[in-house]
């Protein structure tokens, strides 16, 4: 088990471990996105919708709503930037936990959301924008981590690209190839289709669990997501801490 967790978020990786980690993170993204919507009626994982809503608000003169959308996008960018900084910092020092540290940071932020949300809920003017900013930051942090880890092959916080890629593979599947000499036939990538289908399902399943969890447990449901991230990240982090301690 420890060896699996070490490979899942450590620096020594395989394509299989990339895909398994993406599955965990896609589920978490779907749950956090749905939970945030149940709390504040706003999705936080896909910037396309937020940018469109901000543009619509600006067009009809709702400048405060448009500004809120801009801040949400900037928070997503900030989370992605922090993820890149943490990964590059860890890579420079040859840490095993270079990909685990952003996840540990994400776990801490979701843990704070779960622990403090109920106490701050009475102050809607304060908690709503702060929480939207926090969740957008977390989504950017996570998406940048899996993007760098997989060489931009996998993303986890939105499914538009996944659905598009499945459509491309379906097009390849039903395409009638030519029998001309020298023609390179078009072939569908079934392994890619399978992975994308699993990720879409897990985003959906995470959304269901996140919505049900928030309705029943409130903000504390985020602690479940934080715990998953903590389990995923802790092994390579502790190995680096122990290695550092023994070297002193």
Domain ranges, ordered by start, for the chain: 2-247
CA-to-CA distance for 1 and 14, rounded, in angstroms?
16
Whether 128 has a pLDDT exceeding 70, the answer reads no
The DSSP H or E segment spanning 240 is helix 222-247
Query: What pLDDT digit, counting tens, does each position of 17-55 carry?
Result: 888 999 999 999 999 888 878 877 777 777 888 888 889
- 3-state SS, 181-227, equals CCCCCCCCCHHHHHHHHHHHHHHHHHHHHHHHHHHHHHHHHHHHHHH
Torsion of CA 69, 70, 73, 77, to 10 degrees: -160
User: Taking the alpha carbons of 102, 108, 112, 115 in that order, is the dihedral positive or negative?
Assistant: positive
User: Which pTM was predicted?
Assistant: 0.87
The reported pLDDT for the residue numbered 101 is 92
Structure tokens at 22: 């993406």
Q: Are the beta carbons of 44 and 135 closer than 8 angstroms?
A: yes
The reported pLDDT for the residue numbered 225 is 93
Whether 82 has a pLDDT exceeding 80, the answer reads yes
**Mean of the per-residue pLDDT values of the chain:** 85
The reported pLDDT for the residue numbered 27 is 94
* Percent over 90 (pLDDT), the chain: 35
């Amino acid at each position: 088990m420890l060896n699996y967790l070490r490979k899942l978020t450590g620096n020594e990786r395989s394509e299989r471990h990339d895909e398994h980690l993406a599955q965990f993170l896609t589920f978490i993204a779907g749950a956090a996105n749905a939970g945030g919507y149940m709390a504040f009626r706003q999705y936080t994982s896909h910037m396309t919708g937020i940018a469109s809503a901000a543009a619509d608000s600006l067009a009809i003169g709702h400048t405060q709503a448009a500004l809120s959308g801009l801040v949400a996008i900037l928070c997503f960018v900030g989370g992605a930037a922090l993820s890149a900084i943490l990964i590059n910092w860890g890579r420079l020092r040859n840490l095993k936990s270079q990909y685990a540290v952003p996840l540990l940071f994400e776990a801490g932020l979701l843990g704070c959301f779960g622990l403090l949300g109920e106490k701050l809920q009475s102050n809607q003017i304060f908690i709503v924008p702060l929480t939207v900013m926090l969740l957008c930051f977390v989504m950017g942090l996570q998406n940048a981590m899996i993007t760098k880890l997989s060489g931009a092959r996998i993303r986890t916080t939105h499914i538009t690209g996944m659905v598009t890629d499945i459509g491309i593979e379906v097009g390849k599947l039903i395409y009638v190839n030519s029998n001309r000499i020298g023609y390179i036939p078009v072939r569908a990538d079934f392994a890619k289709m399978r992975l994308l289908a699993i990720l879409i399902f897990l985003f959906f399943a995470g959304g269901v669990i996140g919505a049900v969890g928030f309705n029943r447990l409130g903000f504390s449901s985020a602690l479940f997501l934080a715990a998953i991230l903590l389990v995923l990240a802790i092994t390579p982090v502790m190995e680096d801490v122990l290695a550092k301690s023994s070297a002193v």
